Amino acid sequence: MKEKPLRLHKYIEEVRRINLGSRKTYQIRTFGCQMNENDSEKIAGVLEEMGYLAASDNEIPDFILFNTCCVRENAEQKVFGHLGVLKKQKEKKESLIIALCGCMMQQAGTLDKIKKSYRHADIVYGTNKSHLLPQYLYTLLTTGQKQYFAEPVDQEIIEGQPVKRESSIKAYVPIMYGCNNFCSYCVVPLVRGRERSRKKDDIINEINSLVAEGTKEVTLLGQNVNSYDSDGDFTELLYLIDRQCDIKRIRFMTSHPKDISSRLIQAIHDIDKVCNHLHLPLQSGSTKVLSEMNRKYDKDRYLAIISEAKQMVPEIGLSTDIIVGFPGETDDDFEDTLDVLEKCEFDFAYTFLYSKRRGTPAASRKDQITKEVKGERFEKLLEKQNSITLKKNLSFVGSTVKVLVEGASKTDKEILTGRDEANKIINFKGSPDLIGEIVNVKITSAKTWHLEGETNENI
């Protein structure tokens, strides 16, 4: 049954009342993608409404939450590893409340494992349920009963949750949730449910309130942003945001090649606010592997999209995701991936070793690739991409780019850091007054992971 906001508000008030007069602290550890980061900002928002303060690094908090990811096995292992350590902390501080939420909790078998081996967890719930955290917390605090929930993925979108943003300069704005694509290696559709889009008005209102608070850049988020569908498609949404929001910069991720249209590329070109950057996961360069991955495009189509994007927006920054060692991947298939890498010349690639995920079709294939072969291919891929990234970065030396200044370096307060439209990290000397501004920076040198430059805008 759908909870009424008023009832939820009551739980927030009740927990706040319980906490009144004592200093209660929280800590959130986020694993995985930007969607999880945004969910954690909402959880922080509701915790602060309930009277919790962010814990400092040298104290054991009163409430600790792991927002988990299960896209690859190593993310899961990390959570169980950290959970083991928390047992010791709970022995030191008996009142510590341990909560687990997110994708991993939505997987069959995880809750049983927690019940059996990690009984020190107090609250467990899956994706899309953080608005119920006040109720879980209240029930735990008043009855002492563990709150364990492993329910089917909830399809409804909850609007109006408080958000405690990590940055005052840039913000994530989810525009759609879930995924309908069922790529054969991927667990996301199983743990995040079917695609559902937020209403345009809700998105516009959120961006406008961010603008009023001084935010300069929004990143529109979704597992598959360009399949956004709510009284218009994603391209229309971009034009609408352009018309109705005074935001300086718009980014979006992740796009799926099957849903890229010429209209969308044209919009990147036409709308000044939309950054010249496209994150377009390739996953594999082999048409055979792409078909087995259920990606719904082939090598030639992917190359055609990239060439159209480069033609229409010559200064576009390109990034991608690549999986190495999908079951049945031959040396020739891998060569196709290297070939696409060379032809596209991505500015950056996130590279992953294929990881078997319970419940996905690829996991039950008999032709899994050995660890050694995966490792060798991964190293080759990384080496090739790093040299492409460095070559592309070097080509920027001498040019001037627009940088949104995000902050100062942790080690040297005089060094400012930010990103250009293509999403490259740029470091340069400047006054802290420039933080939050978009400034022209002339690139003076290039490394693999960042560029260095100088500006005269603070003189």
Angle 371-256-274 from CA coordinates, rounded to 5°: 125
Q: Give the other-Cβ count within 10 Å of 147's Cβ.
A: 20
Binding partner of 237, given ligand 5AD, ligand SF4, none, CB within 5-8 angstroms per partner class? none
- Look at phi and psi of residue 18 and say left if phi exceeds 0, alpha if psi is from -120 to 50, else beta: alpha
Binding partner of 189, given ligand SF4, ligand 5AD, none, CB within 5-8 angstroms per partner class? ligand SF4
Rounded-to-10 torsion of CA 79, 82, 87, 88: 180
Give whichever of 325 and 453 is closer to ligand SF4, judged by the CB atom.
325
Closest CA to 357 of 130, 186, 234: 186
Rounded least distance, CB 344 to ligand SF4, Å = 19
Give 381's Cβ-side CA count (13 Å radius): 31
Query: What stretches of 164-252 show up as alpha helix (H) in DSSP?
Result: 188-192, 200-212, 234-244
Rounded least distance, CB 110 to ligand 5AD, Å = 16
> What residues contact residue 285 under an 8 Å CB cut-off, 6+ apart?
299, 302, 333, 336, 337, 338, 339, 340, 341
Q: What are phi and psi of 20, to 5 degrees?
A: -55, 135
How many positions of this chain bind ligand SF4 (CB under 6 A)?
Answer: 10
Binding partner of 355, given ligand SF4, ligand 5AD, none, CB within 5-8 angstroms per partner class? ligand 5AD
Rounded least distance, CB 288 to ligand 5AD, Å = 18
Give whichever of 19 and 224 is closer to ligand SF4, judged by the CB atom.
224
Establish if 255 lies at the interface with ligand SF4 (CB under 6 A). Answer: no
Rounded-to-10 torsion of CA 326, 328, 334, 337: -50
Angle 190-191-197 from CA coordinates, rounded to 5°: 95
Give whichever of 182 and 350 is closer to ligand SF4, judged by the CB atom.
182
Cis peptide before 25, with omega less than 30 degrees from 0?
Answer: no
Rounded least distance, CB 458 to ligand SF4, Å = 42
Q: For the residues of 382-417, what is the DSSP string, one character each?
A: HHHHHHHHHHHHHTTTT-EEEEEEEEE-SS-TTEEE
Binding partner of 352, given ligand SF4, ligand 5AD, none, CB within 5-8 angstroms per partner class? ligand 5AD
Fill in the per-residue mask, 151 to 190: x = in contact with ligand SF4 (CB under 6 A), - = not in contact.
----------------------------x-xxx--x-xx-
Query: What stretches of 213-298 show up as alpha helix (H) in DSSP?
Result: 234-244, 262-270, 287-292
Binding partner of 42, given ligand SF4, ligand 5AD, none, CB within 5-8 angstroms per partner class? none
Angle 327-329-334 from CA coordinates, rounded to 5°: 145
Binding partner of 200, given ligand 5AD, ligand SF4, none, CB within 5-8 angstroms per partner class? none
Binding partner of 224, given ligand 5AD, ligand SF4, none, CB within 5-8 angstroms per partner class? ligand SF4
Give 167's Cβ-side CA count (13 Å radius): 19
Give whichever of 138 and 354 is closer to ligand 5AD, judged by the CB atom.
354
Fill in the per-residue mask, 221 to 250: x = in contact with ligand SF4 (CB under 6 A), - = not in contact.
--xx--------------------------
Fill in the per-residue mask, 187 to 226: x = in contact with ligand SF4 (CB under 6 A), - = not in contact.
-xx---------------------------------xx--
Residues that bind ligand 5AD (CB under 6 A): 71-72, 185-186, 281, 283, 321, 323, 352, 354-355, 357
Give whichever of 189 and 327 is closer to ligand SF4, judged by the CB atom.
189
Contact set with ligand SF4 (CB under 6 A): 179, 181-183, 186, 188-189, 223-224, 256
